[in-house]
A and B are shown apart, each in its own frame.
Chain A
Amino acid sequence: MEEFLQQLINGLSLGAIYALIALGYTMIYGVLRFINFAHGDVFMIGTYIGFFILTSSFGQALGPGFGTAVIVFLAAMLGCGLLGVTIEFLAYRPLRTRPKLTVLITAIGVSFFLEYTGQLSFVFGADPRTFPTVVEKTMVVQSGSLVIDSYQIIIFVVAIVLMLGLRMLIMKTRIGTALRASSMNLNAASLMGINTNAVISFTFFVGSALAGAGAILYAMSYPKINPLMGILPGLKAFIAAVLGGIGNISGAAVGGFIIGSAETMTAGYISPTLRDAIVFAILIFILIVKPSGLFGQGGTEKV
């Protein structure tokens, strides 16, 4: 039972990170109806932003602590947000009216561009780097074999706060209303006087900023970072978004937690080598059984 509880806690904290990344996928899909394959790589860039701040003389002067953490989080969120907006502006905006397949291929291109340019020796280099400590890790609960450390709590709290903040942003503000209108029908929204280009840029900014926050959380608990590290968390978060029903924001959060738990449970009870395969198996299963996901609405196709 303790073992199960431990795996569940590990799963929930991992899942919280997936959920943050999944929110970006699902928001962008909601507005533009396409999968931003480069999202996982924006996440990777987020970890490097944190890395460079922490290893700079400024970051070293600060040392680990609460203030440093806040600075690193804000910088990664801002950096990733701006990167997301830039990617949309340069690569996706010229293709707005083109077939979806074209945009999908471009997104794969952007993803590869970030991954392989990052591997060049004068950018990040292909070798893994060690992410410095942001805040000291302490044990919060330690009873028998059950261990909860401060990181797991930080991850969980930060993720929940950001999700609630996102919910407020989307439900209560003017731009949030515009975002919801655009994701219902982009054309109709623009006919109603909504500046849809601004909404799309905003969506990319918020979605990518959440990935940036997820990046720092991820790098805190898995401190080996490299330019290809975004692929798997990105894919898993995408699967979480599909599981929750892509385009559905609360669905993405729930999907993230489910995927995270499924992964740690598989690693703990079956075999650690199968932890990636199980996630893909979930994807294939959900797409065959209920492609609209747990909370998604199946759209009807119009001719």
Chain B
Amino acid sequence: MSRKHRSYLYLLIGFAAIIGLSFPFEAGLNSYDMRIVINVGISMILAASLNLINGFTGQFSLGHAGFMAIGAYTASALTTMVFGTTEGTTQELLFLVVLIAGGVSAAIAGLLIGIPSLRLKGDYLAIVTLGFGEIIRVVLQNIEPLGGSLGISGIPRYTTFIWTFGILAVLIFVTENLMRSTYGRGFLATRDDEIAAESVGVNTTKYKVTAFVVGAFFAGIAGGLYGHYNSLIRPLDFGFLKSVEIVVMVILGGMGSTWGVLLAAALLTYLPEALREVELFGIKFRDFRMTIYALSLILLMIFRPQGLLGDFNAEEFIRKIRGKPKKPATTET
């Protein structure tokens, strides 16, 4: 069986596992725990999609929450103002439509922000994407039909376990296949040495924009899921802090390591909830959570800049467990 077919098989297995898991999860968890599980899923989508831009392509983006905001507002506005609340199959179909609409509008924004990124790198790009995220937030605050700073409320709750993790599975599938294609090699070449890549004829512009568009698309979908789970979205939910939170997930997990990033997203979403009431020196964990984030960022950069799983390779790991000989070294490092 070829690699391509096998990846489809994995996707099918993934879907089956998610549907299978959804029954015990839906039945066994109370709504508070379920909320955490869904939030973990949404964080995973956000982190894995940012990983395409930051991790694989090396374009440091600090405005991921902006893409999420565009997706959330597009999807939520379509549902509440155009389609209205529906049920059954119509609901599922319409939900898919609004999610994709949210993703596409975020992707268009990704295209727009991708264009200046052609000229900028490193610090400058980080600042421009930060500015872009802030502009989105300020603009949303000033659009009265979209609720201004109060946001959109009363969004029907369509997001389920299956939707969230199904989309995550699609994202992983897309990422894994993309990274094995010409595009993936292009992303890595752009990240590793842009000038060298250009000099051997790699169109780095194309790859940067592609990374932004694909990453933004999934961030937009994550936004739609978020809106249809929280039933309330406000511009402040998508501020600079949210962007940084996603960036921390990517860095902690290891830039360019899908599994590491997913793990970090799960940890950073679950731990604050789990440690909510834990006290240290008489201060609640939730109060000094951000201090810990910040310190761990600094310490990680000094002692382990590759992140938790930055140099972990799933295929090699499986091969090692199975005891098969290592295949010749690839160019991917």
Interface residue? B305 (CB, 8 A) = yes
Main secondary structure of the interface of B (DSSP, over half): helix
A291–B301 contact, CB under 8 A? no
A231 to B244: give the CA distance in the assembly, Å.
Answer: 13
- Kindly state whether residue B294 has any CB partner on chain A within 8 Å: yes
Contact A101 B127 (CB under 8 A): no
A108 within 8 A of B: yes
Known contacts A100-B122, A101-B58: A280-B302 contact under CB 8 Å: no
Q: Is there an interface contact between B134 and A277, defined as CB atoms closer than 8 Å?
A: yes
Across the interface, A301 reaches (CB within 8 A) one of B126, B195, B288, namely: B195
- Chain B CB within 8 A of A72 CB: no
Chain B contacts of A102 at CB under 8 A?
301, 305
A121 touches B287 (CB 8 A): yes
> Do A116 and B288 form a contact, CB below 8 Å, given A108-B297, A109-B295, A301-B195?
yes
Q: Which residues of A contact B116 (CB under 8 A)?
A: 284, 287-288
CB distance from A302 to the nearest CB of B (A): 9
Q: B114-134 interface mask toward A, CB cutoff 8 Å, 1 = contact, 0 = none? A: 001001101110111011101
Q: Which of B283, B293, B298 has the most CB of A within 10 A?
A: B298
B150 at the binding interface (Cβ < 8 Å): no
A31–B296 Cα distance when bound, in Å, is: 27
Cβ of B302 and Cβ of A101 under 8 Å apart? no
Among the listed B127, B134, B288, B296, which residue makes an inter-chain contact with A120, where contact means beta carbons less than 8 Å apart? B288
A122 surroundings in chain B (CB, below 8 A): 283
Structural contact, B288 and A291, CB atoms closer than 8 A:
no
B195 / chain A contacts, CB cutoff of 8 Å: 301, 303
Question: Provided the pairs A113-B294, A117-B291, A303-B195 are in contact, do residues A34 and B123 lie with their beta carbons within 8 angstroms?
Answer: yes
Instruction: Judge whether B139 is part of the interface by a CB distance below 8 angstroms.
Output: yes
Q: Are B123 and A106 in contact (CB under 8 A)?
A: no
> Contact mask A231-246 → B, CB, 8 Å, 1/0?
1000100110010000
A238 to chain B: which residues have CB within 8 Å? Answer: 127
For B295, what are the chain A residues with a Cβ–Cβ distance below 8 Å? 109, 113
Asked if B142 lies at the interface with its beta carbon under 8 angstroms from chain A, I say yes
Instruction: Give Cα A100–Cα B288 distance, bound, in whole angstroms.
Output: 28
Inter-chain contact A113/B291, CB cutoff 8 Å: yes
The answer to whether residues A116 and B290 also contact, given A98-B305, A106-B302, A287-B116 and a CB cut-off of 8 A, is yes
| Interface residue range, chain A | 35 or more
Is A112 in contact with B244, judged by CB distance below 8 angstroms? yes
* Binding site secondary structure of chain A: helix
Find out whether the CB atom of A105 lies under 8 angstroms from the CB atom of B301: yes
Residues in A146-200 with C-beta less than 8 Å from chain B: none
Structural contact, A109 and B135, CB atoms closer than 8 A: no
CB within 8 Å for A101 and B122 given contacts A94-B302, A113-B291, A283-B131: yes
Chain B residues, Cβ within 8 Å of A95: 301-302
Answer whether residue A281 sits at the interface, using C-beta atoms and an 8 A cutoff. Answer: yes
The reply on B219 being an interface residue by CB < 8 A is no
CB < 8 Å neighbour of B301 from A109, A288, A303: A109
Q: Is A9 an interface residue (CB 8 A)?
A: no
Q: Mark A220-260, 1 if CB is under 8 A from B, else 0.
A: 00000000000100010011001000000000000000000
Q: List B contacts of A271 (CB < 8 A).
A: 142
When distances are taken between beta carbons in the complex, the residues of chain B under 8 Å from A287 are: 116, 119-120, 124, 128
CB distance from A40 to the nearest CB of B (A): 12
Contact of A274 with B by CB under 8 A: yes
Closest to B60 in A: A101
Q: Are A120 and B287 in contact (CB under 8 A)?
A: yes
CB distance from A64 to the nearest CB of B (A): 35
Give the distance to chain A from B322, nearest Cβ to Cβ, in Å: 35
- Does chain A have a CB within 8 A of B141? yes
Chain A residues positioned under 8 Å from B131 (CB to CB) = 235, 239, 280, 283-284
Question: Knowing A95-B301, A106-B301 touch, does A273 contact B58 (C-beta < 8 A)?
Answer: no
Is B251 at the interface (CB under 8 A from chain A)?
Answer: yes
With both beta carbons as reference points, the residue of chain B lying nearest to A29 in the complex is identified as B123
Within 8 A of A (CB), among B242-275: 244, 247, 251
CB distance from A25 to the nearest CB of B (A): 11
B291 touches A104 (CB 8 A): no
Residue interface bits A263-276, CB-to-B below 8 A is 1, else 0: 00000000101101
5 A-B pairs with CB atoms under 8 Å apart are A95-B302, A105-B297, A110-B298, A280-B134, A284-B131
Residues of A within 8 A of B (CB): 34-35, 91, 94-95, 98, 100-106, 108-113, 115-117, 119-122, 231, 235, 238-239, 242, 271, 273-274, 276-277, 280-281, 283-284, 287-288, 291, 301, 303
7 extra A-B contacts, CB within 8 A, seeds A112-B297, A274-B142, A303-B196: A91-B302, A101-B122, A108-B244, A120-B283, A121-B283, A284-B135, A288-B116
Residues of B within 8 A of A (CB): 58, 60, 116, 119-120, 122-124, 126-128, 130-132, 134-135, 138-139, 141-142, 195-196, 199, 240, 244, 247, 251, 283, 287-288, 290-291, 293-298, 301-302, 305
